[in-house]
Structure 1
């Protein structure tokens, strides 16, 4: 971790992290779209068991890293809900009739 010597340096480092976070979310979204091709139903797209697993995993990781697990849960809930909708749209666009 970088040791900052001013508020400006802190903000610069935060801005770098924000860019990386957005890039990682974008990458995740691209994989989500790919996943739709391997699924056979909207129910499979929704993958409730998988979502539960992810939520437990990220909560544990948050605790391990001393970050609020509630905040991480909230962030992931929003992200996953949006990505499930994206995957459903992708699935419906690739369905064969």
Structure 2
């Protein structure tokens, strides 16, 4: 984890937050593109849903949140929304033959 810049004003803090927000969106976009690729390697909608994989991800992100002193419930909720949406995208890709 990188160091947080020591800011000298509220505007500087906001500018740093804006940069992080852009990076978060970029990372979510990368994750989404990989999820779309994954559909080509799956054999059924049940395999796309991969409940055991989702459980594993949720455990990992909760542990990471606790380690970083972030509310694990908030992180779980964010990931649940993201994963639910990405699973739906992956199901669509699977049904369309993985043409990402």
Normalising by the residue count of structure 1, what TM-score does the alignment of the two structures yield? 0.97
- 1:43 is displaced (CA, Å) by 0.0
Q: Unpaired runs of 5+ in structure 1?
A: none
- The separation in 2 between residues aligned to 1:4 and 1:79, in whole angstroms, is 31
Normalising by the residue count of structure 2, what TM-score does the alignment of the two structures yield? 0.94
Q: What residue is the counterpart of 1:83 in the other structure?
A: 86
Query: 4+ residue runs of structure 1 moved beyond 3 angstroms?
Result: none
Q: Unpaired runs of 5+ in structure 2?
A: none
Show the 5 A alignment for 1:1-97: 1-94=4-97
Number of equivalenced pairs = 95
- The separation in 2 between residues aligned to 1:86 and 1:2, in whole angstroms, is 36
- The separation in 2 between residues aligned to 1:70 and 1:5, in whole angstroms, is 31
Q: Secondary structure at the match of 2:96?
A: helix
- The separation in 2 between residues aligned to 1:46 and 1:9, in whole angstroms, is 42
Q: CA-to-partner distance for each residue in 1:64-97, whole Å, 9 max, x for gaps?
A: 00100000000000000000000000000007xx
Say what the alpha-carbon RMSD is for the aligned residues. 0.7
